[in-house]
Amino acid sequence: MSDEIVFYTTDPHANVAEGAEIRQLLAQCDLDFEESIGQFVLGRHGRSLVACAGLDGNIVKCVATAPGYRGESLSLKLMSEVIHLALECGHLHLFLYTHPKNVSFFEGCGFYELAEVPGYVSLMENTPVGIKGYCGRLQKKREPGAKIGCIVMNANPFTLGHQYLVRLAASQCDWLHLFVVREDVSRFSYRDRFALVQSGVADIPGLTLHHGSEYMVSRATFPDYFFKEKGIVGDCCTAIDLLLFREYIAPALGITHRFVGTEPFCATTRKYNNDMKHWLQAADSDAVPVTVVEVPRTACAGVPISASEVRRLLRAGDMAHVESLVPRNTLNYLTHNDYVT
C-alpha cells in the first residue's frame, strides 16, 4: 500500500488547510498538534491524508498514521522521509518522542530509548553512543567528596541572585558542578550568558563550570521551558528531563544534591522545582535519589531578585534599578551592548 502513497513536505503554519488536516489526523491518533513544529512530512493516498511526521529542529514529533492504513512498510517509509528531511536541514543527531508501546518499532528505525515516563511517553535518540559518550566526558571531570552539588541555570542574564545561589551551594558542598543551559532561544545568546556566568563565579572555590547539552533543559528534554511565557507546562517533558539527570548525569559526576532557588514569579519554573522533588527523590528508578535543596531567593529592597525582573527593567529603560540587581560585569555588558529598549 505504501507504493500508492505520495510523500512530501509542508509548513503547517503557511498552509492553513493542510494544518487543519494534520490536526484532524493527530486527533484520530490521540495526539496533539504542537505549534513549535515548522515542517511536516505528509503521506497522501489520493486526496486523503493518511500519515504525518513533524520535525521541530532535530526532534521528530507527532508521528501518526490513519487507522485504516497502519502497517510496518508505510511507517518505515514515513520515518525514512522525515529522517531524510532532517539530514537535508543539517540535523545528524535526532531525538524522537513516542508512546512507550511504540519503542520497539522505532528501535527498528535506528532509534534508542533514553528515558520513559511509564504509560505516557518515551524519549529516543538515533545513536547508541550519544548520551553514553557525553557521560563518559563528564566522568573525566568528577571530583571526590561525600556531598557533590549541582546547579543548572539559564542566567538570562546572570544576576546577583544567581551569584548568591552559587556561593551558598558551593559553601555547603565538597564540590559543585554548575551547568549553563545551552539553548540559544533566550534574549541573551548562549555565548554571552556563559561568559557572564564564568566571570560571575570566577572567585568561587570548589566549582566546575560546564557547558550545557541537549540532554539537560533543552528543546529535546524540556521544550516547555522555552515557551513558558505562553503558559505551557508539560508534565511528561519535565519528567523526561529530570529522569535523564538522575539516571545518567548525576551518576557520571557523583552528584548527590541539586540546588535551586525558590520561584515566586514564573509558574513553569516553579512547577519544574516541585516536579524535581518527585522525579529526583521519590520516583521509582534504578538510580540513586538526588536530594533537592530549594534556597530562598536573595532580595533587593524586599523584592526577590530574578532575571525576568531585570529584563522587565531593561524594557522600561530603568538602568538605575538594573544596577542594583546584577554584578558589575553583567551591568557593563548590558550597558556596552545597549540592551535598554
Tell me what pLDDT residue 236 has. Answer: 60
* CATH no., domain 2-128: 3.40.630.30
Distance CA 40, CA 32 (A): 14
pTM of the entire predicted model: 0.88
Closest CA to 310 of 289, 335, 275: 335
Q: Summarize pLDDT for 87-136 with one digit per residue, the tens.
A: 999 999 999 988 899 999 999 999 999 999 888 888 999 999 999 999 99
Architecture in CATH of 131-336: 3-Layer(aba) Sandwich (3.40)
For residues 53-77, average pLDDT: 90
Provide the pairing of β-strand 148-153 with 257-261: parallel
Q: Which set of grid coordinates corresponds to residue 185?
A: 532561544
**Length in residues, the chain:** 341
Q: How far apart are CA 341 and CA 339, in angstroms?
A: 6
Domain with CATH 3.40.50.620 in the chain: 131-336
CATH 3.40.630.30 placement within the chain: 2-128
Task: From 288, 289, 306, select the one nearest 297 (Cα to Cα).
Answer: 306
Residues of the chain with pLDDT > 90, as a percent, come to 71
What is the reported pLDDT for 83? Answer: 96
Mean pLDDT (the chain) is 90
φ and ψ at 259, to 5 degrees?
-100, 135
